[in-house]
Chain A
Amino acid sequence: MLHYSFDSSLVEITEQKNEDDVTFTIQIKSETMRQRWKQVRFYFDDNKDYTDAFFYSHIDGHYEVIVRNDAVLPFLLQAFRYRCIESLAWK
């Protein structure tokens, strides 16, 4: 199983498993963290796969990201790369 942790003073992440994908709800608590998530978003918006991760920015400031099952690992790797999460490990 893939496990990750995050600094809850900067961000709050919850996830819900669907049939074909996982919905991450991301509450962002600092501008620095918002910029980091924008970099993750840019990575997925800019690649040639149009359905790997859908980013939805909501009026209240939270992000909803729907990630296809086979793209969850790349998504978390990018989140780790841009320091949106603190750790990522197989357990």
Chain B
Amino acid sequence: MSHQALFAIALFLLTYAFIISEKLHRTIVAMAGGILMVLLGILSQEDAIRHIDFNTLGLLIGMMILVSITAQTGVFKYVAIRAAKAAKGKPITILVYLSVVTAMASALLDNVTTVLLIVPVTFSIARQLRVNPVPYLISEVIASNVGGTATLIGDPPNIMIGSSVEGLDFMAFLANLTPIIVIIQAAILVCLVFIYRRQLQTTPELQAVLMQLNEKDEITDPVLLKKSLAVILLTIIGFVLHGVLHLDSATVALSGAFLLLLFTGEHYLEEAISKVEWTTIFFFVGLFVLVAGLEETGVIAKMAQAAMDLTGGDPLHTSLLILWLSAIASAFIDNIPFVATMIPMIHDMGSLGIDNLEPLWWSLSLGACLGGNGTIIGASANVIVAGLAAKEGHHITFLGFMKIAFPLMILSILLSHVYVYLRYFIL
């Protein structure tokens, strides 16, 4: 192994360690690592820029702009209150309905955005019914990670996989991941209802008060709502057709975002741009450059070869290894850098003899996205919700979360295991 490869590995591991330690903001660490790759001569600036996946970045930016404008209309509060009323104010049914709303929203929006939209109204509903909000928060965070797995745009790992693999378009994700995600979400909800059925109790009087709420009053700007929903619908149609139209997903998302800004006018421009999570965008930039260092120095190819040796190059064993490894790793470390490293490795496995890489991609997606449910630090949405809950006086401890979520994560990976085996190797 060359000196440059050793430098690249050392820098990568050091950066990874700093990201896990959370001593410094992960964006600063990732960018510093990426810049050092260039400063140390491991990569040229041209190579570094060539490896930055602008499709992933464009898709994230476009969706963030769309969501930030739509959120101002109050539509998410409207939907949550409608769901609570549809549940007749029964706390345990509300848990199911809010989880389903969260999972569906998360399939189309970023997970963190989804929980930031649903958590405030959850606190409000829980207070009205005088029940503990924590079961709702845990169910919602799990649903956001599960729902996000269903589509190309639901979770950053899927965005990265879809962006780097020719042919894995929006419809391919829908056809391959959505069916198993529906089953997993249903199974998890059955477990959650069983776990929380006694804890979530209220009085008929409080239920009656909730049924008197006027959800229509939550809509703050009906004109903006109509424009936002029309553009979101067009954008979704764009995602469905982007493979046929030979358009990258970023083109669809950015078209939607700036079409909405065209309709709403410059009044919304500054705020929409400022609400883009630039720290996340630069985190991705740093990671792409870091992983590029490993790729260019041949480290990724060696890792792929080692994984192939371990599984004997058998596609089934390799898929299942990726599924379980991704799940366990993602329960404890950020799934974005993990997936950024795995993507070139799986590409290399293709050149090392595995003909059909599709099961490997779906295994990576299922493992990395669902694995985040294992612990409170497994996904950004978990950390955000735990932080919000603690700020409002409801502490979700590491072990308290793990006691509920880790077995559910294992259940979801077992179901995925069976699905991958049956769908890609038996049927």
Q: How many A-B contacts if CB must be within 8 Å?
A: 38
- Which residues from A are CB-within-8-Å of B124? 54-56
Q: Could you say which residues of chain B place their CB within 8 Å of the CB of A51? A: 123, 127, 392-393
Is B128 an interface residue when CB atoms closer than 8 A count as contact?
A: yes
Query: Which stretch in B87-95, B211-219, B362-370 binds the other chain?
Result: B211-219
A61, B123: Cα distance in complex, Å? 22
Residue of B nearest to A52 (CB): B392
* CB–CB A54/B388 < 8 A: no
Residues of A within 8 A of B119 (CB): 50
Chain B nearest CB, measured from A69 CB (Å): 12
User: In the assembled complex, how far is the CB of residue B386 from the closest CB belonging to chain A, in whole angstroms?
Assistant: 14
Contact of A58 with B by CB under 8 A: yes
Q: Does B120 contact A (CB under 8 A)?
A: yes
A66 touches B127 (CB 8 A): yes
- Give A70 Cβ to nearest chain B Cβ, in Å: 11
Complex Cα gap A21–B406 (Å): 35
Docked CA distance A90–B124 (Å): 30
In contact, A56 and B213 (Cβ under 8 angstroms): yes
A31 at the interface (CB under 8 A from B): no
| Chain B residues within an 8 Å CB radius of A64 | 209
Q: How far in angstroms is the closest Cβ of chain A from B313? A: 52
Residues of B near A56 (CB, < 8 A) are 124, 128, 209, 213
A57 to B127 Cα, complex, angstroms: 14
Pairwise interchain contact A58-B123, C-beta atoms closer than 8 A: no
Q: How large is the interface on B (under 10, 10 to 19, 20 to 34, 35 or more residues)?
A: 10 to 19
A residues within 8 A CB of B212?
58-60
Residues of chain A from 30 to 72 with CB closer than 8 A to chain B in the complex: 42, 45, 49-51, 54-61, 64, 66
Shortest Cβ distance from residue A33 to the other chain B in the assembled complex, whole angstroms: 15
A50–B124 CA distance with the chains assembled, in angstroms: 8
Question: How far does the alpha carbon of A55 sit from the alpha carbon of B123 in the complex, in Å?
Answer: 11
Measured between alpha carbons, how far is A54 from B220 in the docked complex, in Å? Answer: 16
A26, chain B: closest CB distance, angstroms: 13
A56 → B minimal CB distance (Å)? 6
| B214–A50 CB distance below 8 A | no
Evaluate contact between B127 and A58: CB separation under 8 angstroms.
Answer: no
Please state if B214 and A59 are interface contacts (CB–CB under 8 Å): yes
Contact partner of A54 among B123, B218, B391, CB < 8 A?
B123
- Considering residues B209, B214, B220, which has the most beta carbons from chain A within 10 angstroms of its beta carbon? B214
Q: Would you call B214 and A54 a contact (CB within 8 A)?
A: no
Chain B residue with minimal CB distance to A34? B217
Contact with A along B175-214 (1 / 0, CB 8 A): 0000000000000000000000000000000000100111
Taking the closest CB of chain A, its distance from the CB of B187, in whole angstroms, is 30
Residues of B within 8 Å of A60, CB to CB, are 212
Residue of B nearest to A50 (CB): B120
CB pair A50–B392 under 8 Å, yes or no, is: yes
Between A and B, 10 residue pairs with Cβ closer than 8 Å are A42-B220, A49-B391, A50-B388, A50-B391, A51-B393, A56-B209, A56-B213, A57-B217, A57-B218, A66-B128
- 14 further A-B pairs in the complex, CB-CB below 8 A; given A49-B392, A51-B127, A59-B212: A42-B220, A49-B391, A50-B123, A50-B388, A50-B391, A51-B123, A54-B128, A55-B124, A56-B128, A56-B213, A57-B214, A57-B218, A58-B212, A59-B213
Which B residues are within 8 Å of any A CB, using their own CB? 119-120, 123-124, 127-128, 209, 212-214, 217-218, 220, 388, 391-393
